Amino acid sequence: MSELLIPLLALLGLFVLALLGFLTLVLRRALLSRELGAFDCSLRHETIRQRSGWTHGVARYEDDRLDWFRVFTVRWRPAESLSRRRLAILDSRKPEPADSYSVLPGWVVVRCAYGAVIVELAMSEGAYNGLAAWLESAPPGQHLTISS
């Protein structure tokens, strides 16, 4: 009987840890999404040689930057913080067939220049309109480029 008890307790402990991890992710996402100016947004980087894969996340507007948080992590700090001054929308497009596995239906892919780096953001049409308006409403004196 005691031989069986130890593996069962170990399995129960692993199950409880997995459940706590899942609940932490769900609670973190709910708290991030609840804040004003937050929206679902996938992100990937593009270099001359390759594109990284899409990473799901939540973006949130701050006064002078766009903070982007990964969905599947417990960190409370943003994984990316894009300064409003350096961010410029190059174009937007419908997702390519290769993107369909990680970009939700009805979303648009927004190609942005961030300094010398190209960043692609996938978001809903409404979120794209909000991003363009946020960039256009930059305080006077900030350089702004939006091409479509």
**47 in Cβ contact with 32 (< 8 Å):** no
Decide which of 3.40.50.300, 2.30.29.30, 3.20.20.70, 3.30.70.890 is the CATH code for 35-136: 2.30.29.30
Q: What is the pLDDT of residue 2?
A: 72
| pLDDT under 50: residue ranges of the chain | none
Q: What 3-state class would DSSP assign to 18? A: helix
The reported pTM is 0.75
Q: What is the pLDDT of residue 50?
A: 64
In what order do the strands lie in the sheet containing 117-124? 42-46, 117-124, 107-114, 87-93
Q: What is the pLDDT of residue 146?
A: 54
Q: Which two tokens stand for residue 146?
A: 């939006």
Q: What is the pLDDT of residue 140?
A: 67
Q: What is the pLDDT of residue 145?
A: 54
Identify the residue whose tokens are 């409404």. 126
Instruction: Return the domain boundaries, the chain.
Output: 35-136
